[in-house]
Amino acid sequence: MRRERRNFARNNSENKRVLYIGGGIITLSIIVAIAISILFSGNDNSTELARFNTSTIDSLGANSLGTEETSTQMGRTVNEMKDEETNELENEISNVISNDVNDKEDEQKKYAVNTNASNKKSDEEQTTNTEKEIEEQIQKEEEKDPEFIIPVEGEILKAYAKDNLVYSTTLDEWITHNGLDIAAEKTTVVKAAADGTVKSIKNDPRYGLTVTIEHQNGFSTVYSNLLTAEFVEEGEKVEQGDTIGTVGNTATFEIADEPHLHFEILKDSQNVDPELYINK
């Protein structure tokens, strides 16, 4: 019985030792595991902490750098804005000056063009005036007063009397007389007093058959109391001395007078004294 108890006690003691040793091993294992866990956990935390610190430092550095760059960029932006404003102001001033200069140049060009045009016009006008003066001078030289000859040879029966009165045998009264009455027998040839153009051939109720010739420089001659005028036609050009008709007795206002040629000279349609223009 005792032996059994001893064996039981021994077994119990061994069991307890085994249990103790096993419990110790387990406990040690747990401790080691915890230590390992703690160790690894500590490394990870350190790593994470290191990473965190590094990231934080980098981030802080980056943020600091970014701040500096931002500050620099802001500084540059402000300077650039100032520069841009200055450039814009300078450009505006330059544009205003340039536009003003261009406007002045345009005005000067317009003035020059207008001046040239005015000078050209003035020159043209002067040239035109000069040409006109030359033409007028030539025309005047070409249109000198004609030199008239007496159309028939004979005595002056009745003189020119525009400002005083002469006695008319036919009318038996004192009257004005616009021409010369030159004594000539009937059928005496009547000659053109100067070069000209036959304007008209007609029967005048007072002075009978009449031929009118136009001459240069506003002169015209009238041949009345004609018998015939068959030697010329209206519009025909005649030269001084050409025959235009013959003396007759067709003037009712002078029918009581001796046979004669009634001869007149007009300047611009106004009667003048023929004796002042006839070359004798």
Per-residue pLDDT of the chain (280 residues; tens, 9 = 90+): 545 555 554 555 555 554 555 555 666 666 666 656 555 554 444 444 345 344 443 443 444 444 444 444 444 555 555 566 666 766 776 665 666 656 667 777 666 666 666 666 666 777 777 888 887 776 665 668 899 999 999 999 999 998 888 888 888 899 899 999 999 999 999 999 999 999 999 999 999 999 999 999 999 999 999 999 999 999 999 999 999 999 999 999 999 999 999 999 999 999 999 999 998 6
Looking at the fold, whether 234 and 127 belong to one and the same domain comes out as: no
Looking at the fold, whether 269 and 235 belong to one and the same domain comes out as: yes
Number of domains in the chain: 2
In a domain, 265, yes or no: yes
Looking at the fold, whether 2 and 136 belong to one and the same domain comes out as: yes
- Cβ–Cβ under 8 Å, residues 188 and 251: no
Looking at the fold, whether 134 and 174 belong to one and the same domain comes out as: no
Looking at the fold, whether 228 and 266 belong to one and the same domain comes out as: yes
Looking at the fold, whether 15 and 123 belong to one and the same domain comes out as: yes
CB neighbours (10 Å) of residue 218? Answer: 13
What pTM was estimated for this model as a whole? 0.52
In a domain, 16, yes or no: yes
Looking at the fold, whether 240 and 106 belong to one and the same domain comes out as: no
Looking at the fold, whether 209 and 74 belong to one and the same domain comes out as: no
213 contacts: CB under 8 Å, gap ≥ 6? 192, 193, 194, 196, 197, 198, 199, 220, 221, 223, 238, 244
DSSP annotation of 144: P
C-alpha torsion 156→159→165→170, nearest 10: 40
Return d(Cα 53, Cα 202) in angstroms, integer.
Answer: 143
User: Judging by DSSP bridges, how do beta strands 260-267 and 219-228 pair with one another?
Assistant: antiparallel
- The parent domain of residue 46 ranges over 1-142
